[in-house]
Amino acid sequence: MRLLRIGPVGLEKPAVLDGDGNPRDVSSIVGDFNSEFFASGGVQLLASLDLGALPVLSKDLRVGAPIVRPGNLVAVGLNYADHASETNMAIPSEPILFNKAPNTVIGPFDDICFPRGGTKVDWEVELGIVIGTKCRYLESSQAALSCIAGFVAINDVSERAFQVERGGQWVKGKAFETSCPTGPWLVTPDDAGIPEHFDLWLDVNGVRRQTGSTSKMIFDVGTLLHYISQLMVLDPGDLVITGTPPGVGMGMANPEWLKVGDVVTLGVTALGEQRTLVVAAP
């Protein structure tokens, strides 16, 4: 299934795409795609519905992030060897973890606000994992796969000067408002396919910057969730983003950065595409 949320900011309705690509309104059945929805078996409930009997939402409405603001947003750094190389950093022996603020999550076509004081704003296409059941001291990487509600496309927008040059705390460059465009869809594992075989790409102003595959990840999806679960509890509705392939602005011989007016487009196999405009923070 492909789950999405449609409507103005704060008033989104949960929907499921039918076989013809029509968004079917499921708000009368599940309320919203939040922690309670995932914890209570909401995905399985939706899979049992006759979508043809549900009202269709207009395709002209805004598409929001496919999940409500997550309780926790855990990100993985340097999870592609070639990305680590381009940034002159060592390949990690264990996953590098940091947090993004949950309120950074925005829709896939919403504007990215260039942060005040920012000078080195970068792009990062990534695979995101939405947690479906509590992850606590998981026994194995295989067991971790059963905890996944679905996958989403992510742009982990980063301010590198904040991240690298101001005291070594990555979260400083990862948590500014609008820095996590998410979606357009949450795609359940049965429809998304094997997460180690997803292609990722990102363009800036129509110029290809990133091309990669999750097959090149140092730590695969199951390994990451198993590892994280030994350190913290992941709850239903939480979001884990799994690292970016090479091609970021920071890694160029002559680094390039996003600026106001730039358009970023990206996509992940089976998970849809994003298009965001960079604007000045109000």
Please tell me whether residues 114 and 23 are part of one structural domain: no
* End-of-domain residue from the set 45, 64, 83: 64
CA distance 182 to 113: 15
Please tell me whether residues 131 and 237 are part of one structural domain: yes
Contact 223, 229 (CB under 8 A): no
Please tell me whether residues 99 and 154 are part of one structural domain: yes
Please tell me whether residues 49 and 139 are part of one structural domain: no
Which is it for strands 2-6 and 186-187: parallel, antiparallel or unpaired? antiparallel
Query: What three-state secondary structure class fits 115?
Result: coil
Domain that holds residue 30: 2-64
What is the token pair recorded at 174? 């990862």
Please tell me whether residues 79 and 182 are part of one structural domain: yes
Please tell me whether residues 151 and 56 are part of one structural domain: no
Alpha helices, H only, the chain: 27-30, 35-39, 42-47, 81-86, 141-145, 160-164, 189-192, 221-229
The pTM assigned to this predicted structure is 0.96
State residue 81's pLDDT score.
83
**Distant-in-sequence, close-in-space partners of 44: CB < 8 Å, separation ≥ 6:** none
User: What CATH number is associated with residue 107?
Assistant: 3.90.850.10
State residue 199's pLDDT score.
97
Please tell me whether residues 8 and 78 are part of one structural domain: no
- Tens digit of each residue's pLDDT, the chain (282 residues): 999 999 999 999 999 999 999 999 999 999 999 999 999 999 999 999 999 999 999 999 999 999 999 999 999 998 998 777 787 778 889 999 999 999 999 999 999 999 999 999 999 999 999 999 999 999 999 999 999 999 999 999 999 999 989 887 789 999 999 999 999 999 999 999 888 899 999 999 999 999 999 999 999 999 999 999 999 999 999 999 999 999 999 999 999 999 999 999 999 999 999 999 999 999
State residue 87's pLDDT score.
76
Please tell me whether residues 31 and 140 are part of one structural domain: no
CA torsion angle 252 162 174 103 (round to 10) = -140
Please tell me whether residues 139 and 216 are part of one structural domain: yes
Please tell me whether residues 215 and 108 are part of one structural domain: yes
State residue 63's pLDDT score.
98
Number of domains, the chain: 2
State residue 194's pLDDT score.
85
State residue 7's pLDDT score.
97
* End-of-domain residue from the set 31, 64, 97: 64
* End-of-domain residue from the set 47, 64, 81: 64
Phi, psi of 237 (to 5 degrees): 90, -10
State residue 103's pLDDT score.
97
Please tell me whether residues 81 and 47 are part of one structural domain: no
State residue 247's pLDDT score.
95
State residue 85's pLDDT score.
77
Please tell me whether residues 125 and 239 are part of one structural domain: yes
